[in-house]
Amino acid sequence: MTSHKVNDKKVINAWAIFDWANSAYSLVISTAIFPIYFIKNTPDIINLGGWNFSNSALYSFAVSISYIIIAALSPLLSGMADYSGRRKFFLRMFTLIGSLACITLYFFKGVPQFWLGTSAFILATIGFSGSLVFYDSYLPLIVTEDRYNKVSAKGYTYGYIGSVLLLIAILIMVQKPEWFGFSDAGYASRIGFVMVGLWWLGFSQYTFKHLPKDALSVFSRKMIKHGYNELKVAFNNVKANPNILSFLLAFLFYSAGVQTVIYLATVFAEKELHFETGELILIVLILQLVAIGGAYLFSYIGNKKGNKFSIALMILIWISICIGAFFTYSKSPFYLLAIMVGTVMGGIQSLSRATYSMLLPEKEKDTTSYFSFYDVTYKTAIVGGTFLFGIVDSITKNMRYSVLALGICFLFGLYFILKTTIQHRPAGTNS
């Protein structure tokens, strides 16, 4: 990494803008429009290899496959990024993969293109999640520790605002396709997938322009070996640090619940509570808008009472959400649950990233390999959570039991976060 100023306003804004760019995927593709489109354009029961699966279970398994692939790749790539100094290179590469895959979803019209649509969704998810390990690893390099919480929350806030603006535009197209000369809501949704890809690719250019330049070195076979060796050293350091280890275990379990809820919330509402498309998107808008305040609220609580207290409080709220969803049979209570999810959704992701940065060894420069463990934990959590959801759904034929199973994941997360000691170091110690 070339030399650069720490706490530079332009660099911080450029870093946060990437959340504005790529959150269009996480909102429109993974949460709001594509899950609804997938369920409506595939049969309730799909036969694969002689086995019958519900379309909701297959959707959750597609998410699992995406994160299995990227969890296997990202540690090697992050180690190579540290050795070669090519953080931005890999950030660009995964952004290109993800945005082009979103555009490809335009060609997914129904069952005849089932494998095309599923494959493009998996690639888009790989592009999104693969970029995050490099994006997150910039945080301790561009700001001092006393600003981790605030800057991390700023990134998520940019993401929520930008993605909501794009979602509203797509929502108008889906609800009123005739205004735009579209044949139906399905075609409008497919145009929306293209818009996500262009939005993601376009706005990320500002990030690429202003983030610190890569300190380039020539690619060689030694980089692969070095990547594995560097990961081995980082793994041993993590294993030898009880706080990092217990935090990552907590993060593993509660992220399994959080991310699965984000991916499957609209599917649950559509199949169990029979929400219409407009109502489902309204729920997602509620989630995003409330999450803006939630990210700053729990950042404030973390600064006042400590990140451990703030995260534990949010986990307790998540547990109550899972129990509440199990007993919800009408639409009105679900709106209340949506507000609760929004309140803790942004806060727990933002504080998790900031807290892990605090737990890293002081003066650590090669942060990408450490963040690869954080990132692999995150991806493993999604694999476990979505796979658990799909399996329970397939066995019980009732997604309510899948949601209840996620509550158990939160309980384990609470146990391990309470075992973690999180000390806020004095301002500037990581500068």
Query: Six-digit token pair at 65?
Result: 């496959």
Whether residue 42 is predicted with pLDDT greater than 80 in this model: the reply is yes
Instruction: Please name the residue ranges forming H helices in 105-184.
Output: 114-137, 139-142, 148-175
pLDDT band, residue 16 (cuts 50/70/90): very high
Whether residue 297 is predicted with pLDDT greater than 50 in this model: the reply is yes
- What gap in Å lies between CA 32 and CA 283, rounded to an integer? 9
301-308: long-range contacts at Cβ-Cβ below 8 A with a sequence spacing of 24 or more? 302/149, 302/351, 302/354, 302/355, 303/149, 306/422, 306/424, 307/149, 307/351, 307/354, 307/355, 307/358, 307/422, 307/424, 308/355, 308/417, 308/418, 308/420, 308/421, 308/422
pLDDT in tens, 183-203: 998 999 999 999 999 999 999
Q: What angle do CA 156, 296, 354 make, to 5 degrees?
A: 60
Complete DSSP assignment for 85-123 = T-HHHHHHHHHHHHHHHHHHGGG--SGGGHHHHHHHHHH
Whether residue 385 is predicted with pLDDT greater than 50 in this model: the reply is yes
Domains defined along the chain, listed by start: 9-418 (1.20.1250.20)
* 367 three-class SS: helix
Token pair 């930008």 is found at 162
More confident residue, 124 or 54: 124
Query: Which residue type is seen at 170?
Result: I
Whether residue 423 is predicted with pLDDT greater than 80 in this model: the reply is no
Least confident span in 8-22, 38-52, 112-126, 215-229: 215-229
Enumerate residues 6+ apart whose C-beta is below 8 A from 108.
Answer: 41, 114, 116, 117, 120, 190
Whether residue 403 is predicted with pLDDT greater than 90 in this model: the reply is yes
Q: What is the mean pLDDT of residues 282-307?
A: 84
Q: What is the mean pLDDT of the chain?
A: 85
Enumerate residues 6+ apart whose C-beta is below 8 A from 152.
Answer: 139, 299, 350, 351, 353, 354, 357
Q: What is the mean pLDDT of residues 309-337?
A: 94
Q: What is the mean pLDDT of residues 257-267?
A: 87
pLDDT band, residue 427 (cuts 50/70/90): very low
Token pair 């992050």 is found at 78
pLDDT in tens, 337-378: 989 998 898 788 878 878 888 888 765 556 666 776 777 788
DSSP 127: H
Query: Six-digit token pair at 92?
Result: 């660009």
More confident residue, 216 or 195: 195
More confident residue, 415 or 129: 415
Enumerate residues 6+ apart whose C-beta is below 8 A from 272.
Answer: 399, 400
- What gap in Å lies between CA 4 and CA 140, rounded to an integer? 13
Whether residue 264 is predicted with pLDDT greater than 90 in this model: the reply is no
The DSSP H or E segment spanning 268 is helix 242-272
Q: What is the mean pLDDT of residues 7-31?
A: 90
Asked whether the beta carbons of 311 and 253 are under 8 A apart, the reply is: no
- What gap in Å lies between CA 7 and CA 151, rounded to an integer? 10
Task: Check residue 405 and give its pLDDT.
Answer: 94
Task: Check residue 428 and give its pLDDT.
Answer: 44
Task: Check residue 286 and give its pLDDT.
Answer: 82
The total number of residues shown for the chain amounts to 431
Query: Six-digit token pair at 8?
Result: 């530079």
* 357 three-class SS: helix
Task: Check residue 216 and give its pLDDT.
Answer: 65
- What gap in Å lies between CA 185 and CA 174, rounded to an integer? 5
Task: Check residue 79 and give its pLDDT.
Answer: 66
**Largest pairwise CA distance in the chain:** 61
Task: Check residue 284 and give its pLDDT.
Answer: 81
pLDDT in tens, 140-169: 788 887 887 788 878 878 887 898 899 889
| Maximum mean pLDDT: which of 284-298, 314-328, 331-345 | 314-328
Least confident span in 117-121, 343-347, 412-416: 343-347
Task: Check residue 146 and give its pLDDT.
Answer: 80
More confident residue, 233 or 261: 261
- What gap in Å lies between CA 248 and CA 359, rounded to an integer? 11
Q: What is the mean pLDDT of residues 372-389?
A: 85
Whether residue 404 is predicted with pLDDT greater than 70 in this model: the reply is yes
